[in-house]
Amino acid sequence: MADVAIKHTSRAEARCCTPRVPSTIVARAAAAFTQVFRALGDETRLEMLGLLAAAGTELCVCDIEAHFKLSQPTISHHLRILREAALVTAERRGTWVYYALDKSTLRRLPEFVALLGG
């Protein structure tokens, strides 16, 4: 039978492997960004935000639809998700809806970076 070496660990070594419990305050603050990041997790929605950013102003939904080879209900679905995440604002004028970037939400993104310790 071979000799088995048993390694003894010091208290400092044992402590470094102890899982850290995340702060509930940090966890709750990070959860506030969940909907934003879910909305950003789709290529079409990112492209819509890029389109609005490049325009530098509001765009009519008809201009957004013209940019994509997607059906009108699909475009509306993506814009609804962006609205619910407060990434865009929407204003109805007659039969058309005009969309713009919601800069207040974009200004909050550094808060998320700060939560990560950055």
Q: What are phi and psi of 105, to 5 degrees?
A: -70, -40
Residue given tokens 């109805």 in the structure block: 92
User: So where are the chain's domains?
Assistant: 11-115
Query: For the chain, how long is the longest CA-to-CA vector?
Result: 87
pLDDT at 26 over 90: no
Percent of the chain at pLDDT > 90 equals 55
96-111 confidence digits (pLDDT tens): 999 999 988 878 888 8
Does the pTM surpass 0.85? The reply is no
**Would you say domain 11-115 falls under CATH 3.40.50.2300?**
no
Q: How many residues does the chain have?
A: 118
pLDDT band, residue 115 (cuts 50/70/90): confident
Region 14-28: mean pLDDT is: 66
- Name the E strands within 1-118: 59-60, 88-93, 96-101
Compute the distance between CA of residue 113 and CA of residue 118 in angstroms, rounded to an integer: 5
User: 3-state DSSP call for residue 97?
Assistant: strand
50-87 confidence digits (pLDDT tens): 999 999 999 999 999 999 999 999 999 999 999 999 99
Tell me the pLDDT of the chain averaged across its residues.
85
